[in-house]
Structure 1
Amino acid sequence: MSMLSVRDLTVKFAMRDQNVTALDNISFDLGEGERLGIVGESGAGKSITGFALMNLLSRPGYIDNGSILFEGEDIVQKSESQMRKIRGDRIAMIFQDPMVTLNPVLTIGQQMIETLMAHRKLSKAEAEQIAIVKLREVYIPSPQERLRQYPHELSGGMRQRIIIAIALLLDPDLIIADEPTTALDVTIQADIMELLLELCQSNKVGLILITHDLGVVSQMAERTLVMYAGRIIESGPTREIINDPQHPYTQGLINALPQQTLPGHKLKQIPGSMPSLTTIPEGCPFSPRCQYATDKCRRIRPEIVKYGPAEVACHEVNRLHETQSEEQSA
């Protein structure tokens, strides 16, 4: 049985004139200790997926349909008091900006110790010792001193390491990391991702990594979901998706990577932009930006179908594959 099983999950936002769909019947599974990447442009629905998995959606957003089974329990049906026992304890989340996550008026020690004592029957001294151990695990120097410091006294990289330590405090089964290095310098990003990977592997913790960076996903995730306009348009083993993408959108994301362009040449980009939730096209939502789009693509929404080791939602997947084969043999 999968540790996490999402089925037909639909999230909507109640607007003044209409209800708009942010997630449209997405389904996927995550095994115990598995690492899954969710990629796509801004507005694809990645972060909404993370918030829905934590049952953290607030009005006007709401789960309209579907189930989220975590270790056999449907999170969608849980009350807020029941979810508080799951969040942080069994599922932890790492957000984009550590300065938003950490309370600026409490010391690092207060935040870590209070978290432990809220979920475990521990004395303050016992909680402090666990906090020190977790800070050491993320290579924080002089952890006893850090417990007495406030978030503003630490560097961005140090704050993000502390966020990871807090996520691991209660030995969760699953960590959801939403763009965990966005607010950091490029030189620090690789160190943080390497640390997160090391800790997930050593603690056998499942990881859902939400990012726009396919380069990061290729190093971190065993499987990848590619999202567009609130839908999963391709999924499969990460290596297969990176080396042999089946959907034109996935191909566009890979071509847009800087390393795919020769020095001195303009970076490649996907023409157009992600549609807003109120103007998602009929048929395939990617069709206005797709060079392979046909009348069928513009009229009929493609269903997810098995194609080799991956699953893809594209009417023209065979033509795309033939074109790629011709280009490679040329």
Structure 2
Amino acid sequence: MSLLSVNHLNVVFRQRHQDLQALFDVSFSVSRGERLAIVGESGAGKSILGYSLVNLLSKPGVIDSGSVKFDGRELTTLTARQWQEIRGKKIAMIFQDPMITLNPVLSVGDQMVEAIRSHTRINYNDAKKLAIEKLAHVRISSPAQRFEQYPHELSGGMRQRVIIAIVLLLRPEIIIADEPTTALDVTIQAGILQLLKQVCEDNGVALILITHDFGVVSRIAERTIVMYAGRIVEQGPTLEIINDPQHPYTQGLLNALPQMALPGQRLNQIQGNMPALNNHPSGCAFHPRCPYATDKCRENTPGFVFSGVSTVACFAIEDMLAEFDPEGGWQGEVEDE
């Protein structure tokens, strides 16, 4: 059984005159110890999905329908008190900006001890010892000294390491990391990502990494989900998606990577913009930006088809696969030589 199972999840923002849908029929699962990436541009619905999983959606956002199960337990019906048993202790979240999580008027140590003692009956001295051990575990130099310092006295990379240490204190089974290196210098990002990967491997923790950067995904994730306008458009093993992307949107994201352009050449980009919630296109949401769009794409929403080891929601792929017979032979016309 999957550790986390999401089925047909729909999220809407309740408005006075209309409901604006942010997630459409999202389904996926995460196994114990698995590292999953969720990729897409800003506005794709990645963070909303992450917040939905831990019941942190800001009003007027609500889960309209669907199921989120953790270890077989339905999460969408839990009370606030029941969530205290899950959030942090079973499912933890790391945000883009560590200062959102850290209290600026409390020392790092006070916050770590408070996190431990809010879920256990451990005494202060033992909690302090455990906190310092976790600071050392995430490779913070002079952990006893950092324990006494305040967040503003630490660098951005150090603060993010503190957050990872706090998350590990309660031994969660899943960590959701929402763009955890966005606010950091490029030279610090690789170290934080490698640390996150290592602590998950060492502790058997599953990781859901939310990012817009395929370069990050290739180093961390075993499996990848690509989202566009609130829908999953492709998912499969990370290396397969990077080496052989199926959906035109995935192809566009990979072609836009800096390494895909020659030195001095203009970077590739996907024409157009992500649609707003109040202006969602009919049919396939990507069709206004897709070079392969047809009337079928403009009028209908594609379902998922298997293409290799990935699943993809694209009529162009579906039509191409339909031209093969069940024996694997090509059914289209072959030109005479």
Q: Do both share a fold (TM > 0.5)? A: yes
Bigger Cα displacement from structure 2, 25-34 vs 309-318: 309-318
Q: Which amino acid aligns with 1:10?
A: N
Output the amino acid matched with 1:146: R
Q: Is the 8 A contact 1:248 1:320 kept in 2?
A: no
1:58, distance to aligned residue in structure 2 (A)? 3.0
Q: Report the alpha carbon displacement of residue 85 of structure 1 after superposing the two structures with TM.
A: 1.5
Take 2:290 and 2:164, find their aligned partners in 1: how far apart are those partners?
Answer: 39
Deviations 1:249-288 (A, max 9, x none): 0000000000000001000000000000111110000000
Alignment check: 8 A CA contact 2:93 2:175 kept: yes
Structure 1 match to 2:290? 290
Larger displacement relative to structure 2 (81-90 or 261-270): 81-90
Aligned amino acid, residue 161 of structure 2: R
Q: Partner residue of 1:55?
A: 55
SS class of match (1:136): helix
Pairwise mapping of residues 92-171 of structure 1 onto structure 2 (< 5 A)?
92-171=92-171
Alignment check: 8 A CA contact 1:246 1:320 kept: no
Q: What letter is aligned with 1:206?
A: A
State how far apart, in whole Å, the 2-side matches of 1:140 and 1:310 are. 39
Q: CA shift at 1:318, angstroms?
A: 5.7
Name 1:262's counterpart in structure 2: 262
Alignment map for 1:184-223 (pairs within 5 Å): 184-223=184-223
Distance in 2 of aligned mates of 1:274 and 1:45: 11
Deviation at 1:59, TM superposition (A): 1.5
Q: Following the alignment from structure 1 to structure 2, what is the Cα–Cα distance between the partners of residues 9 and 130?
A: 38
Return the alpha-carbon distance in structure 2 between the equivalents of residues 25 and 105 of structure 1. Answer: 42
* Rounded Cα–Cα distance in structure 1 between residues aligned with 2:295 and 2:210: 33
Q: Report what 1:246 is aligned to.
A: 246
In structure 1, stretches of 5+ residues that fail to align are 322-330
Contact 2:108 2:147 in 1 (8 A): yes
| SS of corresponding position for 1:76 | coil
Q: Please name the residue that 2:228 is paired with.
A: 228
- What per-residue deviation string (whole Å, max 9, x for no partner) do you get for residues 53-81 of structure 1? 00111310000000101011011011111
User: The residue matched to 2:236 in structure 1 has which SS?
Assistant: strand
Please give the root-mean-square deviation of Cα atoms over the aligned residues, in Å: 1.0
Match of 1:11 in 2: 11
Q: Which runs of 5+ in 2 are unaligned?
A: 322-337
Cα distance in 1, alignment partners of residues 245 and 15 from structure 2 = 36
TM-score (norm 1): 0.96
Contact 1:292 1:320 in 2 (8 A): no
3-state SS of paired residue (1:119): coil
Q: What is the identity, as a one-letter code, of the residue corresponding to 1:15?
A: Q
TM-score (norm 2): 0.94
Query: Could you tell me how far 1:141 is from its partner in structure 2?
Result: 1.0
Code of the residue aligned with 2:229 in structure 1: it is A
Distance 2:245 2:211 in 1: 18
Amino acid in structure 1 at the alignment position of 2:177: A
Q: What SS is found at the alignment partner of 2:118?
A: helix
- The answer as to whether partners of 2:305 and 2:318 remain within 8 angstroms in 1 is no
Mapped to 2, the partners of 1:116 and 1:157 lie a distance apart of: 23
| Residue aligning to 1:40 | 40
Please state whether the residue corresponding to 1:226 is helix, strand or coil.
Answer: strand
Write the distance in 1 (CA, Å) between the matches of 2:268 and 2:82.
47
Partners of 1:72 and 1:318 in 2: CA distance:
33
Partner amino acid for 1:149? Q
